[in-house]
């Protein structure tokens, strides 16, 4: 599986140019974090890759090794987006193909144990904490075994210990089936604790300003000394990295007057 992204320009009908000259490839099993300032175009990028938005000047190509019936792209959003009127088990069954449902019912019970929710299949989302709902959403993203999993700040707005637990769980699930992951975050520590590679985006219109391999042993947490050290050395070298700038600041070449933020 290879994902090749070649976006010459992505502008919205109101004239807002979100992305310009952004190219990269992702290999099978690679965990890539995407870091950039707010409003840079990260969600726009994921939507384009997912095919939710096809209006671009450029191309997104996914050369797949999977059987045709298998879904190739999964998406995990900022909110868990569980169906409130369905139980946990029914929410999970919903994403499985009908023929897979019967076979996987027993497996689902085991999988719920694996994500720390044993015996919770009959509960409704409203009976779960925010962290538990994210666990269900994580499991739902992985049980369809996507080749590419797109994650848009999935642990935002969680307290620090819960986010830590979910990052550990994410790494465990990823190690089992090894999809390629594109994980959007504005937290450099989170990116360095999860990814094989971090793509840093400029401010809008976004392009890649730094493609950084992260060669640290796993499993990792954001508290690891090696993660902290890399974090500090990166910001020392590029103080404006999180504002989307390597020195000197990049020139902007298309108008942004009509953008909302």
CB of 22 to ligand ADP, least distance (A): 12
Question: Using CA atoms, how far apart are residues 25 and 129, in angstroms rounded to an integer?
Answer: 37
Dmax (CA) of the chain: 58
Q: Of 1 and 259, which has the nearer Cβ to ligand ADP?
A: 259
- In this chain, which stretch among 21-29, 56-64, 69-77, 253-261 interacts with ligand ADP, using CB under 6 A? 253-261
- Please tell me whether residue 133 binds ligand ADP under the rule CB under 6 A: no
C-alpha dihedral sign at 190, 192, 196, 198: positive
Cβ-count burial of 101 within 10 angstroms (0-12 exposed, 13-18 middle, 19+ buried)?
middle
What's the half-sphere exposure (Cβ side, CA atoms, 13 Å) at 102?
2
* C-beta closer to ligand ADP: residue 43 or 187: 43
Residue 14 interacting with ligand ADP (CB under 6 A): yes
Least separation in angstroms between residue 233's CB and ligand ADP is: 25
Residues between 31 and 70 with contacts to ligand ADP, criterion CB under 6 A: 36, 38-44
Cβ-based neighbours of 192, under 8 Å, separated by 6 or more: 33, 198, 214, 216, 220, 222, 227, 230, 231
The smaller minimum CB distance to ligand ADP, of residues 10 and 135, is found at 10
Instruction: Look at residue 195 and give its three-state secondary structure.
Output: coil
Query: Number of residues in contact with ligand ADP, rule: CB under 6 A?
Result: 16
The yes or no reply on residue 4 touching ligand ADP (CB under 6 A) is: no
* Residue 255 φ then ψ, to 5°: -70, 145
Binding of residue 257 to ligand ADP (CB under 6 A): no
Q: How far is the CB of 256 from ligand ADP (least distance, A)?
A: 7
Could you tell me which of 160, 217, 155 has the C-alpha nearest to residue 192? 217
Query: Cβ of 28: how many Cβ atoms within 10 Å?
Result: 15
Q: CA-based Rg of the chain, rounded to a whole angstrom?
A: 19
| Binds ligand ADP by CB under 6 A, chosen from 1, 12, 124, 156 | 12
Is residue 204 within the footprint of ligand ADP (CB under 6 A)?
Answer: yes
* Site stretch for ligand ADP (CB under 6 A), options 14-22, 129-137, 165-173, 189-197: 14-22
Cβ-based neighbours of 52, under 8 Å, separated by 6 or more: none
CA 3 → CA 30, 64, 182, 231, distances in Å? 10, 8, 11, 28
7 binds ligand ADP (CB under 6 A): no
CB of 48 to ligand ADP, least distance (A): 10
Using the rule CB under 6 A, which residue among 5, 18, 143, 199 binds ligand ADP? Answer: 18
205 in contact with ligand ADP (CB under 6 A): no
For residues 33 and 195, is the Cβ–Cβ distance under 8 A?
A: yes
Indicate whether 187 belongs to the interface with ligand ADP (CB under 6 A). no
Among 208, 242, 246, 259, binds ligand ADP (CB under 6 A): 259
Q: Which residues bind ligand ADP (CB under 6 A)?
A: 12, 14, 16, 18, 36, 38-44, 204, 259-261
């Amino acid at each position: 599986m290879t994902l090749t992204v070649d976006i010459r320009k992505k502008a919205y009908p109101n004239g807002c140019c979100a992305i310009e000259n952004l190219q990269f490839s992702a290999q099978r099993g690679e965990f890539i974090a995407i870091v950039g300032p707010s409003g840079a175009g990260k969600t726009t990028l994921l939507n384009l890759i997912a095919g939710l938005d096809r209006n671009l000047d450029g191309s997104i190509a996914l050369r797949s090794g999977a059987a045709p019936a298998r879904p190739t792209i999964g998406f995990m959003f900022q909110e868990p987006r569980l169906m409130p009127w369905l139980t946990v088990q029914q929410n999970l069954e919903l994403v499985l193909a009908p023929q897979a449902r019967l076979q996987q019912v027993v497996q689902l019970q085991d999988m719920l144990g694996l994500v720390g929710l044993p015996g919770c299949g009959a509960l409704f989302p409203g009976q779960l904490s925010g962290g538990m709902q994210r666990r269900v959403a994580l499991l739902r993203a992985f049980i369809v075994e996507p080749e590419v999993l797109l994650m848009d700040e999935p642990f935002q707005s969680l307290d620090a210990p819960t986010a830590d637990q979910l990052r550990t769980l994410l790494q465990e699930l990823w190690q089992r089936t090894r999809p390629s992951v594109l994980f959007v975050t504005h937290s450099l520590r989170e990116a360095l604790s999860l990814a094989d590679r971090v793509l840093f985006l400029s401010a809008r219109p976004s392009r890649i300003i730094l493609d950084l391999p992260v060669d640290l042993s796993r499993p990792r947490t954001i508290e690891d000394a090696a993660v902290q050290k890399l974090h500090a050395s990166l910001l020392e070298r590029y103080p404006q990295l999180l504002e989307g700038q390597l020195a000197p600041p990049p020139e902007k070449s298309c108008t942004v007057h009509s953008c909302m933020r």
